[in-house]
Structure 1
Amino acid sequence: MVDYKQIITIEPGKRGGKPCIRGMRITVSDILGWLASGMTFQDIIADFDELTEEDIYAALRFAANRENRIFQLAV
């Protein structure tokens, strides 16, 4: 299992404080959008060779955790 806490970074001055991958300017939201548009892991890595499969899994894990926390607060 990927520990997203080692991969996802949040810096106030970078991309408006959005969660990013390893301090890069690629956000979790960017990755989710690419996946939602039909890109595969291989497509994303081919276009952004600085990303790894682990980075993509970390973005998914981060988003799932955030969604779960929001749902629990709403109940």
Structure 2
Amino acid sequence: MARYVLTAFAYSTLLAEHGLNELPAPKQPSVPVRVMRQLADPLSIMLLAAGLVTLLVLGEVPESARHPAGERGHRG
């Protein structure tokens, strides 16, 4: 069985010619494609519809649905 040794010169030549032995990074889907994929899920559509019905019936966003980021430490 033959044993092949790659010299530093051969390595640098091959590296310069072909680049690293890596797969290209996968392309990320665009925002519209991601939105359409999300809306293709029936559960997402149902939750969106329920939120819109709640907004229409109550006329405002329920307090339990508000994000408390600005109200940390506040207990009222």
- Normalising by structure 1, what TM-score? 0.23
Structure with more contact order per residue of length (Cα contacts < 8 Å, sep ≥ 6):
1
Between Structure 1 and Structure 2, whose CA radius of gyration is higher?
A: 2
- Normalising by structure 2, what TM-score? 0.23
